[in-house]
Amino acid sequence: MIVKHNLKVFISLLLLFFIKTSYGVFHPFIFVPGDGGSQVEAKLNKSSAVHYICGKTSTDYFNIWLNLELLVPVVIDCWIDNIKLVYNNETRKTENTPGVDIRIPGFGGTETVEWLDPSHASSGAYFKDIANELVGLGHVRNVTLKGAPYDFRKAPNENQDYFIQLKDLIEKTYNENNQTSVILLAHSMGGPMTQYFLNMQKQSWKDKYIKSLVALSGAWGGSVKAVKVYAIGDDLGSYVLNQRTMKQEQITNPSLAWLMPSSHFWQKDEVLVETDIKNYTLANIEEYFIDVDYPDGWEMYKDTQPHSLSLGAPGVEVHCLYGTDVPTVEKLIYKPGKFYDTPSFVNGDGDGTVNRRSLEGCMSWVKQQKQRVYARPLPKVDHMSILSNPNVLQYIANLVNTI
C-alpha cells in the first residue's frame, strides 16, 4: 500500500516536472467552495432519535452531505436532526446535535470539492468540470490543484480555525510549486469567505503568496433569498424536496444569517417583506426574526454582523464572473392574514440566487485597491450552472494560458 502511494506521488512529481519544463511555471489553484459546496461526514452516538427508523449510533463516519438517500421522505427527519445546529446563547456559538460528531473530509485535496456525492452521481458534481478543464491544460490534481473545504453551515466567526488551515495550505502549495503564487478560485459564499480571509492578511503576505482571486457568483452583499429561507425554506431546486422541511435545518446555520442582505447594498427602509400589517426592512429586521418564530436567527444575525459582508477590497487581482438576467427574488409579498402561507415574489435581476447588486459588489474595489479588478457578466447563466458554463471554462483557460 505504501509502495503504491509513493509511486503515485513520484508519478505526479514527474508529471509536474514535465509540465514546468514544457509549458513554463503554472500558478497553482486552490478551490474555495460556497454554501453546500463541501462534503460533510457524521458519526453518531446518540441516546435518542426523532424517529424509530433513525439510527442512534454508527461505528464510523459516514457521508451525510451530499447523500441523496438521506433526503427521501421520513428518512429526511433523521438527516435534519443529525446535521442541524443548536445555538448556544451563552457562548454565542452553535453546537452539533448532542451525540453527533461532524467533520469535513478531504482538506487539501480536490476530490471532496469536485464531487459532493462520493458516489460521483451527476447531481453531486461541483468543481468537477473546472478541475477537468485545468487538468486538460496540464495541471495535476493535489499538486497544482488543491481544495479547501470547510463547514459551510457556519459563518466566519465560527470558522477561525479554517482560516488558519487555509493560510497554511496556501503557503505549503506555494513552496511545493517552486515558490509560485497561488490562484484562489471561489464560488458563491466562498467569495466573501475568501475576501474575509484576505482582509486578515498583511499586504506583504498577499503580494508574495497570492496571484489572483477568481470569483464565480460571489455573494458580496448577501441575498434576499436568505430572507425567503427564514420564511419558507428552500428546496434547492429539486422537485423531490419540500422547502418547509428543509427549512428546519437551513435556519439553524449561522452562515444563512451572514448572507442576509447587507445594509451597504440595500437601503435601511427598502421593503424586503410586505404584509397587510407591517413591512419588514433592515431597520426592523429583528421583528422579522421574531415574527417568523426564530429569535435565534436574530442572535446569529447580531453575531455575524461584526464580520460584515462589506469588508474592504481584498488587495489582490480579482476576476469576478457572475450570471445576470435570471429572475431573482427581491421582495416577498403576503396576502392579507396569510403571513404563514407561501408568499408571492417580486423578482429582479441576478443569477437566480444572488441579486445583481450583490454580485457586482466586487466592482466597488476598482477605486479601493491598486490591483486590477476584472468583471464579466454572463447573461442567462444561473448560480450553479456557472461552474460548467463553456464561457467560464474558456475564461479560466485563457487566464492560465496568458499567465
Q: Which helix (H) or strand (E) holds 93?
A: strand 93-96
pLDDT of residue 21: 40
Q: Regarding the domain with residue range 27-223+308-402, which homologous superfamily does it belong to in the CATH classification?
A: Alpha/Beta hydrolase fold, catalytic domain (3.40.50.1820)
Is the pLDDT at 56 greater than 50, yes or no? Answer: yes
CA dist 79 and 53 (Å) reads: 11
400: confidence class by pLDDT, cuts 50, 70, 90: confident
pLDDT of residue 12: 53
CA dist 69 and 348 (Å) reads: 35
Largest CA distance in the chain: 71
* Cβ contacts of 402 within 8 Å, gap of 6 or more: none
Single-letter code of the amino acid located at 402: T
Q: Looking at 188, 223, 255, 358, which residue is catalytic?
A: 188
Contact 79, 70 (CB under 8 A): yes
Q: Looking at 35, 234, 291, 351, which residue is catalytic?
A: 351
263 is known as an active-site residue: no
* Cβ contacts of 78 within 8 Å, gap of 6 or more: 49, 50, 51, 53, 54, 55, 70
Query: Could you read off the pLDDT of 250-263 as tens digits, one per residue?
Result: 999 999 999 999 99
pLDDT of residue 78: 97
Residues 60-97: b if buried by 16+ CB within 10 A, e if exposed:
eeebbbbbeebbeeeebbbbbbbbbbebeeeeeebeeb
23: confidence class by pLDDT, cuts 50, 70, 90: very low
The secondary structure of residue 142, as a DSSP letter, is T
Give percent above pLDDT 90 in the chain: 86
CA dist 209 and 207 (Å) reads: 6
Query: Could you read off the pLDDT of 135-166 as tens digits, one per residue?
Result: 999 999 999 999 999 999 999 999 999 999 99
| Helices 243-250 and 75-83: angle between axes, nearest 10 degrees | 20
The secondary structure of residue 26, as a DSSP letter, is P
Contact 209, 184 (CB under 8 A): no
351 is known as an active-site residue: yes
CA dist 375 and 216 (Å) reads: 10
305: confidence class by pLDDT, cuts 50, 70, 90: confident
Name the pTM for this structure. 0.93
CA dist 84 and 392 (Å) reads: 34
DSSP class per residue in 115-134: BSSTT--GGGBSSHHHHHHH
Radius of gyration of the chain (CA): 21
pLDDT of residue 11: 52
CA dist 44 and 129 (Å) reads: 34
Is the pLDDT at 289 greater than 70, yes or no? Answer: yes
Q: Which cell is 182 given?
A: 497561488
Query: Could you read off the pLDDT of 94-137 as tens digits, one per residue?
Result: 999 999 999 999 999 999 999 999 999 888 999 999 999 999 99
CA dist 108 and 106 (Å) reads: 6
Find, among 240, 255, 180, 232, the residue nearest to 341 by Cα: 232
Is the pLDDT at 215 greater than 50, yes or no? Answer: yes
Contact 319, 374 (CB under 8 A): yes
pLDDT of residue 238: 75
Contact 245, 233 (CB under 8 A): yes
Q: Looking at 27, 139, 187, 383, which residue is catalytic?
A: 383
383 is known as an active-site residue: yes
DSSP class per residue in 216-267: ES--TT--HHHHHHHHH---TT-SSS-HHHHHHHHTT-HHHHHTSPPTTTS-
CA dist 353 and 350 (Å) reads: 7
Q: Give the start-to-end residue ranges of the domains of the chain.
A: 27-223+308-402
Give percent above pLDDT 70 in the chain: 93
